[in-house]
Structure 1
């Protein structure tokens, strides 16, 4: 499943799920959990909490994209290093980096069921 898992994660990272929450169910497994070590501390999200996070993001940003620099996979797990860039609703002409991420995604039944990630904000 290594290649398939990698394709699912890349599709998720390249998608507009954080701008269009209607896409959420296409990528996220109902038993989803994420474990996030951010500069503000440690957080855990289940399916519903992560969905609310995507809704909140969608109201703040005009667009969002990821620049993936590394992606490796083994069986049903994919590790990715990426930067997230956004255009804000207030300033849709300027794209700025908002964070740097290293994440390990676990895929089950062709959807992301678990994420372990660490991130820190950009200096902008």
Structure 2
């Protein structure tokens, strides 16, 4: 599997609902450096798995809208937004956050991830910047 496919499949997977699925994508020695609106996180395999599992308890589904997916050598960059259907409102899709991530691959798995995220906002300029190009 090429790097772009691996990254795309990971963020579109149900890793948040099935923590065993993470093994299909993340290298056992993964290192994730995440700058979020709530602060900086440095995560390894187990801490990411635990965070994802906790997150998954609140969502019926997590939908990934990808706008950019680029690969150069052993690095893949992705820009996307997550929308969720919560347990409380399973019929309503709610925009949650925007992300940019750069992944280094190793042994055909995601090995080092550099992630930046911010909460969703509903400005028209931002909304239209996330409409996928055809």
- TM bucket normalised to smaller: over 0.9
Q: Which runs of 5+ in 1 are unaligned?
A: none
1:6 aligned partner: 4
Write the distance in 1 (CA, Å) between the matches of 2:28 and 2:20: 14
CA-CA distance at 1:64 after TM superposition: 0.5
Query: CA offsets per residue over residues 22-49 of structure 1, 9 Å max, x none?
Result: 2111111100010011111111101110
Check conservation: 1:5, 1:107, Cα contact below 8 A.
Answer: yes
Write the distance in 1 (CA, Å) between the matches of 2:43 and 2:30: 8
Write the distance in 2 (CA, Å) between the matches of 1:77 and 1:54: 23
Write the distance in 1 (CA, Å) between the matches of 2:83 and 2:112: 23
State how 1:42-121 maps to structure 2 within 5 Å.
Answer: 42-121=40-119
Check conservation: 1:104, 1:115, Cα contact below 8 A.
Answer: yes
Q: Which runs of 5+ in 2 are unaligned?
A: 123-134
Determine which structure has greater relative contact order: mean sequence separation of CA pairs < 8 Å that are 6+ residues apart, divided by chain length: 1
After TM superposition, where is structure 1 displaced by more than 6 Å over at least 4 residues in a row? none
Rg comparison, structure with higher value: 2
2:127 aligned partner: none
Write the distance in 2 (CA, Å) between the matches of 1:20 and 1:61: 12
1:17 aligned partner: 15
Larger relative strand fraction: 1
Q: How many residues align?
A: 122
Tell me how large the CA RMSD over aligned residues is: 1.3
